[in-house]
Chain A
Amino acid sequence: MDIARVISKRSSALWAPFLILILLASLPLCAPQYTIILLTTIFMYIVITVSWTMFSGPTGYISLAPAAFFGVGVYTSALLGLVLPLPAIIGIGGLASFCLALFVGALTLRLRGTYFVMFTFGLVELLLHFVLWWEVNITGTTGRVVPTVNNTKVFYFMLIIFVILMFALYTIRGSRFGLALEAIGQNEDAAAHTGVNVTMVKVITFAISAFFMGAAGALMATRWTYIDPKIAFNPLLSFMPVLMAIFGGMGQLYGPIIGAAIFAYLEEFLITRFPYYYMLIFGTIMVIAIVYMPEGLVGLIRRLLKSSTEGRHART
């Protein structure tokens, strides 16, 4: 009986995401343009947050570099937008971020967690200032124009990036590589002693997560038409995934997705209603979430469910 239950649970767990995907994919046929644009933004945040969690979730190393990788993608799109087709640009944007992450990771990931946080935090500022200097002094421009792409096409590509990301995440989780990553998060020294090549596992995962951020950046650049270094390397994009993942809860796969979806919608709502107070509210929610919901929304709901079932047990 137990086996039957497991099988039915498995198949429903497999079919539910497919159904949602098919629904989402058929949405552009009937939904208004605004919904498509909003959904694209939501999926952009989901992609960045989930790829952030891919590395920082199991290892516990807090990366503050998403904005750097995203920005690299944006600039790839700006430089190659007129020359290459969109899928190639997305791929190259991802690869550029992948290479940057390999380099940064190899430099810093053998060090203690704090150094890593500081380094990634500075990386965004470094790239911002460097590109700004380069544009002003070498190319003599401040901004660049990116060729626009039809909204529905952007939405489909974002959905494809998301599906590939989830597939990569599942594959890593189920593999020996994923187990090694878990082990590093639990006790890095012990993992190293049992024969895990700690640095290599960390660097590669970091680079894979950067690939998706770069790809998302390359795609989103086509939505903005005009970019400059301050738009491309917006430090806010480094903090958003951290907040979204923590708000949703990092213990479960769907936690960051829920967190990102809620926050992306909240952002849209707050920006249109309270443009001047939006960041203030954002900061306040962040502090409250960290103090009162250390395990995120998913953890909070689980705790509530647990206490309610315990209460029922107590009554019977």
Chain B
Amino acid sequence: MIVRVLDIGIAGLLLGGIYALIAVGLTLQYGVARVLNIAHGEFIMIGAFITWSLYIIFGINPLLSLAICGPAIFTIGFLLYRTLFRRLRISSASPAAFEGSSMLACFGLLFIIQNLAILIWGADIKGYSYLAFPIRFWGQTFAANRLITLGFALAIGLIFYFFLTWSRLGKAIRAAAQDAAAAELMGINIDQVLALCFGFGALMAGLGGTLLSMSYKIQPTMGLEYTVIALIVIVLGGLGSIPGSFIGGLLLGLVGSIVTYIQPGLSLVAYYLLFMLLLLAKPTGILGK
């Protein structure tokens, strides 16, 4: 029994690590840059497919792809904010109007990215086998790739957390999250900071996608499901709180693994029920103000 609980717990953490990473990305985009990025899952999908292509065509190690995918997707995110969302932010009458119009623009992006991917890679389900050997651990066996995924997700999350708390740019980002107008008055180049935030958000999604592709099957339409999960996690953790989304991601992973153990196929339904209960009981989330 204890072994089984441990088994489910660790499987949950393995899943939760990716959820956490993806949700931190969305928190940066929504909590700071105020773009409710419905196309978040599409950046995950791009990360996964670039990794797949690099591995299948050039034989590049998926872990090495982290270093290729990351900067590439960061650049896409950064440029998107500088061109599209900056324009919308300036032309919007109020922050609420910007939230609405930027979200709708993200729908457009969702369709564009998803269908470009279908044109490039086709609509089939794809996958590859990487480090799929078992590792014995506390008397349990785990696939090596899932453990590496969790390790990298935690490491990326931690590095980013320290970057936010200690670096100058990180402080600027946190200032912008609290009050963008005041931060601008304090001499922060707000356009640059928000664009960087959006870029970092896309980066997290891309890295999440690369890690996902190592142990899960991928397809161009997979993004939407992860977007829904990321949305639930950021509400669970408290809108705008980065540590909150990280913890929320791990928690949701645990819930997912428990539900999958009892009744596979219902995990998304369980997430949603959790979301409903949360909205009723404590809409501010775990670490929300």
Give chain A's interface residues, CB within 8 Å of chain B: 60, 62, 107-108, 111, 113-115, 117-119, 121-123, 125-126, 129-130, 132-133, 136-137, 235, 239, 242-243, 246, 276-277, 279-280, 282-287, 290-291, 294
With A125-B224, A284-B108 given, can you name 8 additional A-B contacts, CB distance below 8 Å? A108-B279, A125-B225, A126-B269, A133-B263, A283-B107, A283-B110, A291-B87, A291-B105
- Cross-chain contact B108 with A286 (CB below 8 angstroms): yes
Could you say which of B91, B272, B275 contacts A294, with CB atoms under 8 Å apart?
A: B91
Q: Assess whether A62 is in contact with B272, with CB atoms less than 8 Å apart.
A: no
Is B119 part of the contact surface with A, judged by Cβ < 8 Å? yes
A113 surroundings in chain B (CB, below 8 A): 96, 99
Q: State which residues 194-242 of B face A: CB under 8 Å.
A: 224-225, 228, 231-232, 235, 239
Decide: B231 and A287 in contact? CB cutoff 8 A: no
Residues of A within 8 A of B265 (CB): 129, 132-133, 136-137
User: What residues of B have a CB within 8 angstroms of the CB of A277 in the complex?
Assistant: 115, 119
Q: Does B114 contact A (CB under 8 A)?
A: yes
A-B contact pairs, 21 of them (CB 8 A): A62-B103, A107-B276, A113-B96, A114-B99, A118-B232, A122-B275, A125-B224, A125-B228, A125-B268, A129-B269, A130-B269, A133-B263, A277-B115, A279-B115, A280-B111, A280-B116, A283-B111, A286-B107, A287-B109, A290-B108, A294-B91
Residues in A whose Cβ lies below 8 Å from that of B103:
62, 117
A61's nearest neighbour on chain B, judged by CB, is B100
Residues of A within 8 A of B118 (CB): 276
Is B79 an interface position by the 8 A CB rule? no
Q: Is chain A's binding surface mostly helix, strand, loop or mixed?
A: helix
Within the complex, which residue of A62, A122, A130, A136 is in contact with B100, where a contact is CB–CB below 8 Å?
A62
CA–CA, A118 to B30, complex, Å?
A: 12
CA of A166 to CA of B224, assembled, Å: 33
**Listed residue (A107, A113, A286) with the most chain B CB atoms within 10 angstroms of its CB:** A286
- B interface majority secondary structure: helix
B38 at the interface (CB under 8 A from A): yes
Cα distance, A121 to B265, chains bound together (Å) = 19
Name the 3 nearest CB pairs between A and B, nearest first. A283-B111, A286-B108, A287-B108
B114 near A279: Cβ-Cβ < 8 Å: yes
Q: Which residues of B contact A108 (CB under 8 A)?
A: 279
Is the CB of B13 closer than 8 A to any CB of chain A? Answer: no
Question: Is B56 located at the chain interface by the 8 A CB criterion?
Answer: no
B75 within 8 A of A: no
Shortest CB distance B256–A (Å)? 13
Which chain B residue has the least Cβ–Cβ distance from A126? B272
- Give, as a whole number of angstroms, the nearest-CB distance from A234 to chain B: 11
Question: Chain B contacts of A239 at CB under 8 A?
Answer: 107, 111
Chain B's closest residue to A282 (CB) is B111
CB atoms of A121 and B231 under 8 A apart: yes
Given the complex of chains A and B, what is the CA–CA distance between A175 and B101 in angstroms?
30
Q: Is the CB of A129 within 8 A of B268?
A: yes
A243 touches B107 (CB 8 A): yes
A265→B104 CA distance, assembly (Å): 22
| Candidates A122, A246, A283; contact of B272 at CB < 8 Å | A122
Whether B172 is near chain A, meaning CB under 8 Å from some CB there, is: no
Task: Output the nearest chain B residue to A118 by Cβ-Cβ distance.
Answer: B231
* Residues of B1-20 contacting chain A, CB below 8 A: none
With both beta carbons as reference points, the residue of chain A lying nearest to B278 in the complex is identified as: A115
Once bound together, how far apart are the Cα atoms of A227 and B91, in whole Å? 43
Which residues 231-289 of B have a CB within 8 angstroms of A?
Answer: 231-232, 235, 239, 263, 265-266, 268-269, 272, 275-276, 279-280, 283
What A residues does B275 contact at CB under 8 A? 119, 122
From B38, B101, B279, contact of A107 by CB (8 A): B279
Contact of A283 with B109 at beta-carbon distance under 8 Å, contacts A113-B96, A126-B268, A126-B272 already known: yes
B272 and A280 within 8 A (CB): no
Q: How far is the CB of A151 from chain B (nearest CB, A)?
A: 30
Tell whether B182 is near chain A: CB-to-CB under 8 Å. no
- Does B125 count as interface, using CB distance less than 8 angstroms? no
- With a CB–CB cut-off of 8 A, which chain B residues contact A279? 111, 114-115
* Chain B residues with CB under 8 A of A119: 275-276, 279
Is the CB–CB distance between B101 and A290 below 8 Å? Answer: yes
A119-B275, A137-B265, A284-B108 are known contacts. Are A114 and B119 too (CB-CB below 8 A)?
no
Q: Tell me if B156 is interfacial: C-beta within 8 Å of chain A.
A: no
Given A114-B36, A114-B99, A122-B275, answer yes or no on A242-B107 (Cβ-Cβ < 8 Å).
yes
Q: Which of B107, B114, B224, B239 has the most CB of A within 10 A?
A: B107
Q: How far is the CA of A108 from the CA of B279 in the complex (A)?
A: 7
Chain A residues with CB under 8 A of B266: 129-130, 133
Q: Once the chains bind, are B119 and A276 in contact (CB under 8 Å)?
A: yes
For B283, the chain A residues whose CB sits under 8 A away are: 111, 115
CA distance A291 to B101 in the complex (A): 8
**Residue B112 at the chain A interface, CB threshold 8 Å:** yes
